[in-house]
Structure 1
Amino acid sequence: MKQTSGAAILTSKVVKYLFMLFFVLIAVGPIVWAFISSFKTYAEINSSALSWPSSFNLENYKAAFKFAPIAKYFLNSVIIVGCSVLVTVALVAMCSYIISRFEFKCKTLIILLISASLMLPAQAISQPLFAIFQKLGIFDTKLGLIIVYSAMGIPMSFFVMTSYYKTISTALEESAYIDGATFLQTFIHIILPLAKPGLVTIALLQFINTWNEFYFALMLTSGDTARTVPIALNYYMGTFANNYSALFAAVVMTVLPTILVFIVLQRQVMESLTAGAVKG
Structure 2
Amino acid sequence: MNTAAYSLPVLPENTDYDTGDEYYYGYRTDIRYDENGKALFSYRPLTPEDFLEPEEGDVYMQGNLHVNEVIRLRSIFRHYLKNRENVTVYCDMKIEWGIDGLPNPAPDISIIKDVKEPEKPRGTFYVPEEGVKPFFILEVVSPRYRNEDIDKKPEIYRKAGVPEYIIADPGLRDNKISYTVYGYRLIGNRYVKIHPDSRGRIYCQTLDVRIGPSEFKDRLIVYDGQTDEEILSDEERAAAESKARMLAEIRADSAEEELRQLKAKLEALGIHT
Q: Normalised by the shorter chain, which TM-score bucket?
A: under 0.3
**Greater radius of gyration (CA):** 2
Please state which structure has a larger fraction of its residues in strand.
2
TM-score of the two chains, using structure 2 as the length reference: 0.24
Please state which structure has a larger fraction of its residues in helix.
1
Greater RCO, CA 8 A, separation 6+: 1
